[in-house]
């Protein structure tokens, strides 16, 4: 339910305070939450807490003669926290001159004389008018997760991407907008000195200072530990291949667990638009595809845990997966579907600016932030083209820096045609980034053109990099057979010279998607020889389940 706006009353006289609260509650209690405070400092503390939680305050009613802090001073200080709130000063007849001055100086809207009996004549009509005026301009505050920080903070970017990819609604509050955004100003006023940013404020008011995604996971409803110790099937990775395996496995009766390090969807989940996936004539965003797949998997009873796999070992007929939090889960069969990670661009100083103007992948949370700016994209494959089309909706100009002489070798023709027809996209061939400038954030880039031999230094605030990918399979070293780049071998790739892999214990050859450990299968981009397409990953993930059944039938 939506949070009720608050009416706060402050008075140091307990009898008067109870009377004000009683009358306010009787007339406004159904639509407003009535709070009271016995002093100005106590009321300020309550207001700071309300500001931290994002709770709206419609009206403050304060007595004038209070010790420590009189009503005029108190109401004046509340303007910083709640600039749009209506303010009423309760005063004695002898203080009316001070009350009138307060209207001009302290932002007080009205003053009322004590006593106010009967309230139907001397209190409610005045407050009704003020509350009606407040309601006319009131917009209910966002009640989900709020993230306050700087656009150029790597941790803030990491948290926003984590929340977005896990489909957790959140509100981004840029600290640099404090002068023009009332909510940012209110929340910023509650920060300590020095402030610990980014600050995450949960719906219940809990504050987390610069948390890691792992620390945030449990607070936003993501499952971080498995419910059971044993499953029929454990899938490592929640991209299209892993989700497809989960849907088919669970729908066919297997108790199935997905362990996903970051967020379901994998790299495909970061795609702004997938145009050539069968069944979606107008295309579908990677985020939407991932969300639908997660919903489908959960409908069949798939359990999804957010966590990183750190090791895999064999204990007789069981496969044991160890996780970063120290826990472990066992299963009869395992499917590795961890996909690939973006390859790093080897440019001095680039790593320092990652998340502060330099981004790997689509940077979905940055699309609105680049409005009216020039965005540079490094890469010439489909992922780069899809990102260019997305950013062209917001940015003044999108410049694609492509190392090769054309796009045809690495990009689908439909996407090339879209780029050519979009006036806001400029493609620079035979070009690449060789240097970056900036201390706390990206300020400029050096672009080398191989055809002219010239290097230009260009002002830049946003650089998105798509230069291929590599598997992150170091945690499987010594367990599964991999090639020199880390891709996992399976099926025929394991049969060197027609011989089974060393240590293979069964009197049969490894299955088509089976790794060098029986009962451990690999699907999707992490598999050596896979076709790097969403559809092929989904196909492999679904087909793998038939091999899992064959394996389980003979365990």
CATH of 145-220, picked from 3.40.50.720, 1.10.10.60, 2.40.170.20, 3.40.30.10, is 3.40.30.10
From-to residues of CATH 3.40.30.10 in the chain: 145-220
Distance in angstroms (rounded) separating the CA atoms of residues 214 and 329: 19
Tens digit of pLDDT for each residue in 475-522?
999 999 999 999 999 999 999 888 999 889 999 999 999 999 999 999
Q: What is the mean pLDDT of the chain?
A: 90
Residue of 432, 372, 375 whose CA lies nearest to 403? 432
CATH 3.40.50.2300 segments of the chain: 6-137
Third-level CATH fold of 6-137? Rossmann fold (3.40.50)
111, two tokens: 């003053």
340 vs 380: CA distance, rounded Å: 18
Q: What is the pLDDT averaged over residues 518-528?
A: 96
Answer with the residue of higher pLDDT: 106 or 269. Answer: 269
**How far apart are the C-alpha atoms of 139 and 90, rounded to whole Å?**
28
All CATH 3.50.50.60 domain ranges of the chain, comma separated, are 230-340+471-553, 351-469
Residue 187: band (very low, low, confident or very high) from pLDDT cuts 50, 70, 90: confident
For residue 117, what are its two tokens?
Answer: 């009996």
Helix (H, G, I), strand (E, B) or coil at 60: strand
Give domain 351-469's CATH number out of 3.30.450.20, 3.30.460.20, 3.40.109.10, 3.50.50.60: 3.50.50.60
> What are 3's two structure tokens?
């949070």
Q: Are 226 and 257 in contact (CB under 8 A)?
A: yes
pLDDT at 367: 78
- pLDDT band of residue 59 (cuts 50, 70, 90) is very high
Confidence band for 282, pLDDT divided at 50, 70 and 90: confident
Q: Are 297 and 304 in contact (CB under 8 A)?
A: yes
pLDDT at 177: 87
pLDDT in tens, 341-394: 888 999 999 999 999 999 998 766 777 788 889 999 999 999 899 999 989 988
> Measured between alpha carbons, how far is 406 from 430 in angstroms, rounded to an integer?
8
Pairing of strands 444-449, 454-459: antiparallel
Per-residue pLDDT reduced to its tens digit, 106-130: 678 888 888 888 999 889 999 998 9
Query: Does residue 319 contact residue 548 with C-beta atoms inside 8 Å?
Result: no
pLDDT in tens, 284-301: 888 888 889 999 999 999
Q: Tell me the average pLDDT across 250-273.
A: 88
Predicted local distance difference test score (pLDDT) of residue 416: 95
Using DSSP, state whether 98 is helix, strand or coil.
helix
Asked if residue 396 has pLDDT above 90, the reply is yes
Element (H, E) at 36: strand 33-37
Q: What is the pLDDT of residue 51?
A: 87
**How many CB atoms lie under 10 A from the CB of residue 143?**
15
Selected from 3.50.50.60, 3.40.50.12280, 3.90.45.10, 3.30.1330.60, the CATH number assigned to the domain covering 230-340+471-553 reads 3.50.50.60
CA-to-CA dists, residue 142 to 62, 385, 459, angstroms? 28, 34, 36
Provide the pLDDT for residue 1: 39
Give per-residue burial for 411-441: e unless 16+ CB within 10 Å, then b.
bbeebbebbeeeebbebebebbbeebebeeb
pLDDT tens for 433-443 read 999 999 999 99
- DSSP letter for 453, please: T
């Amino acid at each position: 339910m939506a949070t009720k706006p608050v009416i706060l009353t402050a008075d140091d006289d307990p009898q008067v305070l109870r009377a004000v609260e009683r009358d306010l509650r009787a007339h406004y209690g159904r639509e407003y939450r009535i709070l009271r405070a016995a002093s100005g400092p106590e009321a300020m503390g309550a207001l700071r807490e309300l500001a931290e939680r994002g709770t709206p305050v419609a009206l403050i009613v304060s007595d004038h003669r209070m010790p420590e802090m009189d009503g005029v001073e108190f109401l004046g200080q509340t303007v910083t926290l709640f600039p749009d709130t209506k303010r009423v000063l309760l005063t004695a007849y002898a203080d009316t001159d001070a009350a009138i001055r307060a209207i001009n100086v302290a932002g007080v809207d009205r003053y009322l004389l004590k006593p106010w009996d009967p309230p139907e004549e001397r209190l409610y009509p005045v407050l009704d008018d003020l509350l009606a005026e407040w309601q006319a301009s009131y917009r209910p505050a966002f009640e989900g997760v709020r993230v306050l920080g700087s656009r150029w903070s790597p941790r803030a970017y990491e948290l926003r991407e984590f929340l977005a990819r896990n489909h957790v609604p959140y509100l981004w509050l840029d600290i640099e907008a404090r002068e023009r955004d009332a909510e940012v100003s209110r929340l910023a006023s509650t920060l300590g000195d020095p402030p610990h940013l980014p600050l995450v404020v949960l719906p219940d008011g809990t504050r987390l200072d610069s948390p890691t995604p792992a620390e945030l996971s449990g607070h936003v409803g993501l499952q971080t530990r498995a419910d059971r110790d044993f499953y029929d099937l454990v899938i490592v990775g929640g991209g299209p291949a892993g989700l497809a395996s989960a849907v088919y496995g669970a729908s066919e009766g297997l108790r199935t667990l997905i362990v996903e390090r970051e967020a379901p969807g994998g790299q495909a989940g970061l795609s702004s638009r997938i145009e050539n996936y069968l069944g979606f004539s107008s295309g579908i965003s990677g985020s939407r595809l991932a969300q639908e797949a997660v919903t489908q998997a959960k409908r069949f009873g798939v359990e999804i845990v957010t966590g990183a796999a750190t090791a895999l070992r064999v204990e007789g007929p069981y496969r044991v997966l160890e996780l970063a939090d120290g826990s472990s889960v066992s299963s009869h069969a395992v499917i590795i579907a961890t996909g690939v990670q973006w390859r790093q661009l080897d440019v001095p100083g680039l790593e320092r600016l990652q998340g502060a103007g330099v981004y790997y992948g689509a940077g979905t949370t940055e699309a609105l932030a680049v409005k009216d700016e020039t965005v540079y994209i490094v890469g010439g494959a489909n992922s780069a083209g899809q990102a260019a089309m997305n950013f062209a909706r917001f940015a003044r100009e999108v410049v694609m820096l492509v190392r090769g002489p054309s796009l045809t070798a690495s990009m689908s023709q439909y996407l090339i045609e879209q780029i050519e027809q979009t006036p806001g996209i400029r493609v620079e061939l035979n070009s690449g980034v060789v240097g970056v400038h900036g201390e706390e954030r990206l300020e400029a880039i050096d672009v080398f053109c191989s055809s002219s031999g010239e290097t230009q230094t260009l002002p830049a605030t946003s650089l998105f990099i798509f230069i291929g990918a590599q598997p992150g399979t170091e945690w499987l070293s010594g367990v599964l057979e991999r090639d020199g780049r880390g891709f996992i071998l399976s099926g025929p790739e394991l049969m060197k010279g027609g011989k089974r892999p060393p240590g293979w214990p069964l009197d049969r050859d490894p299955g088509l998607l089976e790794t060098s450990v029986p009962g451990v299968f690999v699907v999707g981009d992490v598999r050596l020889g896979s076709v790097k397409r969403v559809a092929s990953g989904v196909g492999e993930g679904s087909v793998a389940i038939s091999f899992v059944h064959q394996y389980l039938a003979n365990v």
